[in-house]
A and B are shown apart, each in its own frame.
Chain A
Amino acid sequence: MKYLDEFRNPEIAQRLFDEIRRMTTRPWAIMEVCGGQTHSIIRNGIDQLLPPQIELIHGPGCPVCVTPLETIDKALMIAAQPGVIFCSFGDMLRVPGSEKDLFRVKSEGADVRIVYSPLDAVKLAQANPEREVVFFAIGFETTAPANAMAVYQAKQLGLRNFSMLVSHVLVPPAIAAIMESPATRVQAFLAAGHVCTVMGYWEYEPLVERYHVPIVVTGFEPLDVLEGIRRAVAQLEKGEARLENAYPRAVRREGNVPAQKMLADVFEVTDRAWRGIGVIPRSGWRLSERYREFDAEARFAVANIRTQESPLCRSGEVLQGLLKPNQCPAFGKECTPRTPLGATMVSSEGACAAYYQYGRFVQVEDIPVAPSV
């Protein structure tokens, strides 16, 4: 594919590895915020080629991983109702709620469909006026514009049988929450390139100042990730804390302004629970007053469902970089990719699932772990 091979060039990758190795004099813990970056790191084996002093902490940036159990239970409840067509992105189907997942509800007779765009769900609602079509709108700022467009279109079309179960989350409040935690070990962030394509990076300037932490806007191809790490290490070694854009081919400071206008119209900021972490103030979006009629929680009366997470699962600590997956007592015992207790074991980019695969034949003690601060 064009524009990809250039960013997977092994010779340039080697030069970047060499440079990072040369400049690293002491241990550093860097968090990549986005699940797509985690996926790229694992898929390309970047973590194993870095000098042992560099620890990558896989952050809470996988939207599947951070969607709260309670929201998944609500989704299962709505999907099981007769007459509903429940639409979701594919990888949400296997995420366990308290008792089952969407695959199981589908096998029990629910009409659950994988869609590739929320606009497909709007089309389904038009084509099936006698059915209730519900779209499971999860994700960070990246997926939000398309979801906002779906609600906007539904309103323009006057669709009464379309609604969304919204569990949108926002990156900057999560970074702030991680830095506020007294136990935090994170010393620099790779910000999520695609989130910044939409929102720009001006939102991160106050975070850099308040917490004196380097933040580097980073892309997803191997060379992008390596360049992000290189710039973060360079700042850390010099004792600097600046905001840098290492993904200029896709990201501008102001972001995508028309998309932001649409988001501001359709959504409003709300407190949001993150799976395994808890409620982070003002860290999510819900439908604004103007679009509240499309809120599936109200339409299907599931707003009062309350669910407790498994007491064994410590994915919250993993997501904050406080615990290595293999240090969790349930890891590989009660909790495996086939019997996941938490979403970090479900998603292919979840930190626990990645460790489970990697640790199967590499001694877990050999996996580099930066000393605790």
Chain B
Amino acid sequence: MIEPIDFTAWSCPLPLRSYPTIVMGHGGGGKLSAELVEHLFAPAFRNAALDALGDAAVLTLESGRLAYSTDSFVVRPLFFPGGNIGKLAVNGTVNDLAMMGAKPRYLTAGFILEEGLLVSQLGVIVEEMAAAARTAGVQIVAGDTKVVDRGHGDGVYINTSGVGIIPDGIDIRPQRAQPGDVVIISGEIGLHGVAILSVREGLEFGAPVESDCAPLNGLVEAMLAASHAIHVLRDPTRGGLAATLNEIARAARVGVVYEERKLPVPPAVAAACEMLGMDPVYIANEGKLVAVVAPEAADVVLEAMQRHPLGAKAAVIGRITAEHPGVVVARTGIGGSRVVDMQVGEQLPRIC
């Protein structure tokens, strides 16, 4: 007969700071959870709404339409050249809001931690989230933490949700692309995907490649200050530029034509693609946007982008056409053309 164990009087003999790793108790809602909030999250994200530590953040917003978005981040490895999962989680949701023309205001953050994660690693991730939030001018006002058994997660998963205000007179959505509109990309493509691939697979492509992970709301604000004739904004993340252009073509029932020679492809990305048989237009970006702009406003929007540090290499790459609705066509370097479809699954390195 086994003696029943009495848990009621039990408490962890050690305070949080002497645990070098995450243990199951950090998600248990007890003292360990509270200490994680008190010593890590609250000081890093510090703001009035969060400091109230209520069951929900209470926010006051100016009038206008609300944009609201959510995204989950499961990137492997957690740390990569140019960022980490925390920076990605903040910028990802900030950018989703910005692509509707919204001014991002508040984010929430949900953490799923794997037992055994180094607290020091979590600390760096949280610090970088706080820094990214400051850069983007948003506040992280609510959060949640759960812990899963070792082997049931990849260290950290983060979900962020966010709200932003869409100013009056702004109507940006994929359906508004119309024949004659000009397609602009804000800078060099393929950097995030190649940076991840290089660390994940231990491959080198000449020069080291850093992720382009960055908040785009400042760039969008500069563009909108130049003109309101911006019809569509999209950030070409997973699936790359090809997926984004296809989504626009299908949503607006228009065709898209772009010139391959005008795509800004950095040499290291081009080298990686040559080596692996991939195409830069299918590779993920985390700090770029595609703008579809009325032709008469294209010059002023492009100039506004090029004046902003995140748009310095912005370029016109193509246009919207009434021909071949729903289909994206690339004009190739030697003057041919081909259909650029979405991928079925993930892009796979070709054998030869």
Contacts and interface: CB of A to CB of B under 8 A. Distances in A.
Interface of A: 1, 4, 8, 10, 13-14, 34-36, 39, 42-49, 63-64, 89-94, 103, 114, 116, 138-140, 142-143, 194, 222, 337-338, 348-349, 357-358, 360-361
A53 B345 CA distance: 37
Contacts of B271: 1
A20 B131 CA distance: 60
A210 to B, nearest CB: 28
Contacts of B156: none
A-B pairs, 8 with minimum CB distance: A45-B336, A90-B348, A13-B334, A90-B349, A361-B324, A89-B351, A44-B332, A357-B339
24 contacts: A1-B270, A10-B334, A10-B335, A13-B334, A39-B350, A43-B332, A45-B332, A48-B337, A89-B351, A90-B348, A90-B350, A91-B348, A91-B349, A92-B351, A93-B348, A94-B344, A116-B203, A139-B351, A142-B352, A143-B352, A338-B344, A357-B341, A360-B327, A361-B327
A63 B351 contact: yes
Contact of A4 (B203, B274, B279): B274
Which has the most chain B C-beta neighbours within 10 Å: A35, A116, A140?
A116
B312 to A, nearest CB: 23
B295 interface: no
A1 B352 contact: no
A44 B274 contact: no
Q: Interface residue tally of chain B, by bracket?
A: 20 to 34
Interface string B315-347: 000000000100100001111111101001100
A45 B334 contact: yes
A25 to B, nearest CB: 23
Interface of B: 201, 203, 261, 267, 270-271, 274, 276-277, 279, 324, 327, 332-339, 341, 344-345, 348-352
Nearest to A34: B352
Contacts of B201: 116
A79 B334 CA distance: 43
A79 B63 CA distance: 58
Given A1-B271, A45-B338, A116-B203, A8 B333 contact: yes
A349 B327 CA distance: 19
Contact of A1 (B267, B345, B349): B267
A34 B334 CA distance: 21
Which has the most chain A C-beta neighbours within 10 Å: B267, B270, B333, B348?
B348
Interface class of chain B by DSSP: loop
A90 B333 CA distance: 27
Contacts of A338: 344
A38 B85 CA distance: 39
Contacts of B324: 361
Nearest to A92: B351
A46 B203 CA distance: 32
B334 A46 contact: yes
B259 to A, nearest CB: 11
A358 B337 CA distance: 10
Nearest to B336: A45
Contact of A42 (B335, B338, B351): B338
B186 to A, nearest CB: 23
Contacts of A44: 332-334, 336, 338
Given A44-B333, A45-B338, A94 B327 contact: no
Nearest to A49: B336
Nearest to B276: A116
A35 B277 CA distance: 12
Contacts of A63: 351-352
B145 to A, nearest CB: 29
B37 to A, nearest CB: 36
B345 A103 contact: yes
Nearest to A337: B344
Contacts of A114: 348-349
Given A1-B267, A90-B349, A114-B348, A361 B336 contact: no
B339 A222 contact: no
Contacts of B267: 1
Contacts of A94: 344-345, 348
A282 B114 CA distance: 54
Contacts of A36: 352
Contacts of B203: 116
A8 B351 contact: no
Contacts of B261: 10
Nearest to B267: A1
B76 to A, nearest CB: 14
A102 B33 CA distance: 41
Nearest to B271: A1
